[in-house]
Structure 1
């Protein structure tokens, strides 16, 4: 375990050098999550380099292939990445598994739980460190000004006017801001999230039908990503 943690630390250090010691790359990695319900594509944020490097490494190592989206809540989120979910029996409790390490929280005032946000799950540790492997994708819902004010009061940080507008017009889960690290955003396939979140489930929020995933990474030019998926970089 110590050797594995050392390897993860080395990967983080190398990523820091690549991200901040050189000119920003004209290319970026697109994360692709395939399910029987459809395919989703994501961009991971440079503002959360440890989470980005970790997720890309796990994807390239095929760690996620065959794992399940084991928890779904309509108008909230879908969650996956528990290594014990692979080949889990229908009556088996899942959601408590991990890969042996945590990632320090990487909060940024510019990153928030808007619809389609990719964020790291965690336990109740006081440092708010993220799980080394479990993640969730925000579905959320739209909020009225009155309800949003109540939700914003629950958040661990103050929302900007622009963020408030996004929650009103696009939707999300504002009360999670500042408590869980947001490290990516969906750029294609939001309808798949909506479809998965509405599937039949049991009393533990586990889908009645297993939803396995296959995760890969494809490097593309940022110009092509913007042209094809409409994602705007702020380099």
Structure 2
């Protein structure tokens, strides 16, 4: 009897389902709502940097500090030369030809360095149907799939002469690890592979 029980137990344990495939998803919470975006596998250095800083809660005291309707909303560090210098490191460019500056694209900011290296901390989200002049000049590492209404609200906020919102838009940045069912529930069906 013990032998039969052991064989049944062994077959039950060995037939355990294999772990579901999961995907990292960027999440930015603001007082105006949340943005969710796919993190592209084609830009592994930028993706890894974003995930690390999000896990370290790096952005929790920062905000969207530059807002230009029909262009971008930008945050992560101050939009000044000093702000760029405060980036802890720079990231070599990654320019896959299929990633374009379209509405909802998430990219990394940079100064005018000739190597086109990105700041480790400064990111932006495109608020335009397409900004072709930025393609192959700034690295895109994600694509918004939920929260376009939030993007529109932030991009249309009143700003001062330096494009800073008159009312601060604080951010909390996280990386969620979601399975395919959770992604589909969020509306990311087209991104699941």
TM norm structure 1? 0.69
Q: Secondary structure in 2 aligned to 1:191?
A: helix
Distance change >3 Å, CA 199–CA 216, structure 1 → 2: same
The answer to which structure has the higher strand fraction is: 2
Matches within 5 A, 1:1-235: 26-82=21-77, 95-140=83-128, 171-233=129-191, 235=193
Tell me by how many angstroms 1:130 deviates: 0.4
The 2-side partners of 1:132 and 1:98 are apart by 9
Q: State how far apart, in whole Å, the 2-side matches of 1:43 and 1:186 are.
A: 6
**Preserved CA contact (<8 Å) 1:27 1:219:** yes
As a proportion of its length, which structure holds more helix?
1
* Distance apart, 1:30 and its partner CA: 1.4
**Could you say what secondary structure the match of 1:232 adopts?**
helix
Q: Which residue of 1 is the match for residue 15 of structure 2?
A: none
Q: Deviations over 1:135-174 (max 9, x none)?
A: 000011xxxxxxxxxxxxxxxxxxxxxxxxxxxxxx1212
| Separation in 1, partners of 2:50, 2:124 | 12
Contact conserved, 2:183 with 2:192, CA < 8 A, in 1?
A: no
SS of aligned partner of 1:41: strand
Gaps of 5+ in 2: 1-19
Structure with higher Rg: it is 2
Cα deviation for residue 232 of structure 1 reads 2.1
Q: How far off its partner does 1:217 sit? A: 1.6
Deviation at 1:224, TM superposition (A): 3.3
Runs of at least 5 residues in structure 1 that lack an aligned partner in the other structure: 1-24, 86-91, 141-170
Q: Distance in 2 between matches of 1:49 and 1:64?
A: 20
CA contact (8 A) 1:98 1:134 kept: no
Q: RMSD value over aligned CA atoms?
A: 2.0
| Deviation (angstroms), 1:97 | 5.0
Q: CA deviation at 1:66?
A: 1.8
